[in-house]
Amino acid sequence: MFRDSPKQKRHWFWWGMGAILVLSLILRFWGLSRFNQLVFDEVYFAKFANNYLTRTPFFDAHPPLAKYLIAIGMGINSMFPFGDQSVTNELTGSVRSTFSYRWLNALTGALIPLVVSGIAYQLTRRYTYAFFAALFIALDGLFLVESRYALVNVYLVIFGLLGSWFLLLGLSRIGRWRVGFLVLAGINFGASAAVKWNGLGFLLGAYLLWAIAWVLLKLPQLKPTASEERIEGWQSPLDNLAQIPLWHLLGYLGVVPLVTYGLSFIPHIQQNPEFGFWELQRQILSYHRGIGNTPEVHPYCSSWYSWPLMLRPVAYYYEQAQTPGGNVVVYDVHAMGNPVLWWLSAAAIALLALTLIIKRFKPTTIRWTALFLVVNYTANWLPWAMVTRCAFIYHYMGASVFAFMGLALLVDRWFRSPQPQSRWIALATVGIVALAFLFWLPVYLGLPLSPLGFRMRIFLPSWV
């Protein structure tokens, strides 16, 4: 059976998810005020968020939603001080604690594994798969780094994933519940685009899956056999995609996201009335078209095809200091993933794509799941091939989630195999990913390293 039987629904899953949440919270909130300065794009986003609180006019080259959220975090922490209030600066334009403009990002990033778990469970009804998928997200370095600073990518990802989750929840229900969940899906897809335009990759994935479902409906030769359906034992909610007429799709996943995106600009335009909505869109597009793609633009520009292999991560912070004993220590924050996790997940998503092609896709649950992951991965990654401006490895975050879920799907299959060798491979995979995370943890958290320790972790020339 592909899904858990009722007897297998044990408390271990909830204890495990609780442990993942606690681990994620600890790693994100511990030493959150470290480096009392604006790190990387905090020089834009933390300042822009403060501008909303001080009603200061400004131009932003991205949609405004994430900066609203950072500003809300600042405002809450100002009215109800909590966390480390001893470390302050005026770098945002006002006296603020460093904690105030970072804490909501940390909380948001800690919740992403839970959303991933929900998607994985809706796809398969497998608790083990949901657990492995959440665990791999929790053991990634780039998601950890992006969660610890006032940056915007964690908001883009969580809204996009919530859109995918609500879409699956809607497809597994009928009547008003379906309508409600599909509206929520549209709102979150729109919110993802209201953080950055590349959030549209999640919505593109939904449209591609719907189109594929309709094609499959017209190809009865691809209908799974009765024996295949019995083996799977569970109908994927994606089987119901073809039940949604085009005009409903355009409403729930067209009009609703568009309205959500448009509404997100109202506070910004009220504060910056010089330009209207459409003129702002034109200016944003013009700004990004004007950015080049050379080392002179930024030393950490990277090509889209290099991201799965993590060939060019970004140094967010670097400082050398001397201890009282005269030893040199290095403080480094690298926006890089867990190398083992990234390389294995790149192989996993490629293997799933190859399997779908070779075996001629039939809409059984395991293949629907593989297709869901491959399509969403592709929709969040391949459009970057058409982008001419300087791009960075964090633009791969949306796609990387589905690659991690692809690896988790394979690990889950191995773990449930009756063959001991397969189970050992599953456990070894999880173990080596966890060990790699611990090894690179100092460059995610900015912990002091000896020069040798730094070189051991940043060992590829292109990583420096």
The 3-class SS string of the chain reads CCCCCHHHCCCHHHHHHHHHHHHHHHHHHCCCCCCCCCCCCHHHHHHHHHHHHHCCCCCCCCCCHHHHHHHHHHHHHHHCCCCCCCCEECCCCCCEEHHHHCHHHHHHHHHHHHHHHHHHHHHHCCHHHHHHHHHHHHCCHHHHHHHCCCCCHHHHHHHHHHHHHHHHHHHCCCHHHHHHHHHHHHHHHHHHHCCCHHHHHHHHHHHHHHHHHHHHHCCHHHCCCHHHHHHHCCCCHHHHHHHCCHHHHHHHHHHHHHHHHHHCCHHHHHHCCCCCHHHHHHHHHHHHHCCCCCCCCCCCCCCHHHCCCCCCCEEEEEEEEECCCCCEEEEEEEECCCHHHHHHHHHHHHHHHHHHHHCCCCCCHHHHHHHHHHHHHHHHHHHHHHCCCCCCHHHHHHHHHHHHHHHHHHHHHHHCCCCHHHHHHHHHHHHHHHHHHHHHHHHHHCCEECHHHHHHHCCCHHHC
Dist CA 336 CA 85 (whole Å): 29
Kindly provide the b/e burial profile for residues 115-152, where b requires at least 16 CB atoms within 10 angstroms of the residue's own CB. bbbbbbbbbbbbbbbbbbbbbbbbbbbbbbbbbbbbbb
Residue percentage of the chain with pLDDT more than 90: 81
Residue-level pLDDT at 99: 97
pLDDT of residue 2: 45
Is pLDDT above 80 for 342? yes
Is the model's pLDDT at 53 over the cut of 60? Answer: yes
Contacts 24+ apart (CB under 8 A), 280-283: 283/59
Q: How far apart are CA 253 and CA 166, in angstroms?
A: 11
User: Position 370: which residue type?
Assistant: A
Number of alpha carbons in the 13 Å side-chain half-sphere of residue 14 = 4
Please report the pLDDT score of residue 1 as a whole number.
38
Span of 133-147, 225-239, 336-350, 382-396 with lowest mean pLDDT: 225-239
- Among 111-125, 314-328, 357-371, the range with the most confident prediction by mean pLDDT is 111-125
Question: How does residue 234 score in pLDDT terms, banded at 50, 70 and 90?
Answer: low
pLDDT per residue as tens digits for the range 142-183: 999 999 999 999 999 999 999 999 999 999 888 899 999 999
Identify the pLDDT of residue 222.
Answer: 58
Distance of alpha carbon 326 from the chain centroid: 41
Give the residue, 187 or 367, on which the prediction is more confident: 187
Query: How large is the average pLDDT for residues 193-211?
Result: 96
What are phi and psi for residue 3, nearest 5 degrees? -105, 165
Q: Which residue is associated with the tokens 């480390």? A: 84
Question: Stretch 20-33: mean pLDDT, rounded?
Answer: 97
**CA–CA distance, 364 with 43 (Å, rounded to integer):** 48
pLDDT surpasses 90 at 429: yes
Look at residue 231 in the predicted model and tell me its pLDDT.
45
State what percent of residues in the chain have pLDDT above 70.
Answer: 93
CA dist., res. 440 & res. 442, Å (int): 6
Residue 413 has pLDDT above 80, yes or no: yes
Q: What is the pTM of this model?
A: 0.93
pLDDT band at 363 (very low <50, low <70, confident <90, very high): low
pLDDT tier at 428, thresholds 50, 70, 90: very high
Q: How many CB atoms lie within 10 A of CB 37?
A: 11
Least confident of 6-10, 238-242, 396-400: 6-10
Confidence of residue 415 (pLDDT cuts 50, 70, 90): very high
For 265-272, what is the mean pLDDT?
96
**Mean pLDDT score of the chain, rounded to an integer?**
92
pLDDT confidence of residue 362? 58
Least confident of 38-42, 186-190, 319-323, 395-399: 319-323
Q: Which of 93-97, 159-163, 289-293 has the highest mean pLDDT?
A: 159-163
Widest CA span in the chain: 75
pLDDT on residue 224: 54
Is a pLDDT exceeding 80 seen at residue 7? no
Q: What pLDDT is recorded for position 360?
A: 64
Quick one: which of 431, 449, 427 has its CA closest to 440?
Answer: 449
pLDDT band at 286 (very low <50, low <70, confident <90, very high): very high
